[in-house]
Structure 1
Amino acid sequence: MSSTKVIHALYNDDDVLMDAVKQTRKAHHHIEEVFTPFPVHGLDKAMGLAPTRLAICAFIYGCIGISVATWMMWNIMINDWPQDIGGKPSFSYLQNMPAFVPVMFEMTVFFAAHLMVITFYMRSRLWPFKKAENPDVRTTDDHFLMEVAVSGNEEEMVSFFKNTGAVEVKVIEKH
Structure 2
Amino acid sequence: MASKVIQALYNDDDVLMHAVKKVRAEHHHIEEVYTPFPVHGLDKAMGLADTRIAITSFLYGCLGLTVAVVMMNYIMIEDWPQDIGGKPSFSYLENMPAFVPIMFELTVFFAAHLMVITFYLRSRMWPFKKAENPDKRTTDDHFLMEIGLHDNENELADLLWETGAVEVKVTEKES
TM-score (norm 2): 0.97
- Which segments of 5 or more consecutive residues in structure 1 lack a partner in the other structure? none
1:100 counterpart residue number: 99
Cα distance in 2, alignment partners of residues 3 and 96 from structure 1 = 62
1:30 counterpart residue number: 29
Cα distance in 2, alignment partners of residues 23 and 86 from structure 1 = 68
Residues 82-128 of structure 1 deviation map (CA, whole Å, 9 limit, x = unaligned): 11123322121111111101100100011001101110110000111
Cα distance in 1, alignment partners of residues 78 and 50 from structure 2 = 44
**Aligned 1:1-175 pairs, distance under 5 A:** 2-175=1-174
> Cα RMSD over matched residues?
0.9
Indicate conservation of the 8 Å contact 2:88/2:94, yes or no.
no
Match of 2:36, SS state, is coil
Percent of aligned pairs with the same residue?
75
Cα distance in 2, alignment partners of residues 153 and 131 from structure 1 = 31
Indicate conservation of the 8 Å contact 2:33/2:144, yes or no.
yes
Question: Where does structure 1 differ by over 4 angstroms across 4 or more consecutive aligned residues?
Answer: none
Indicate conservation of the 8 Å contact 2:64/2:107, yes or no.
yes
Match of 2:89, SS state, is coil
Match of 1:138, SS state, is helix
TM-score (norm 1): 0.97
Match of 2:144, SS state, is strand
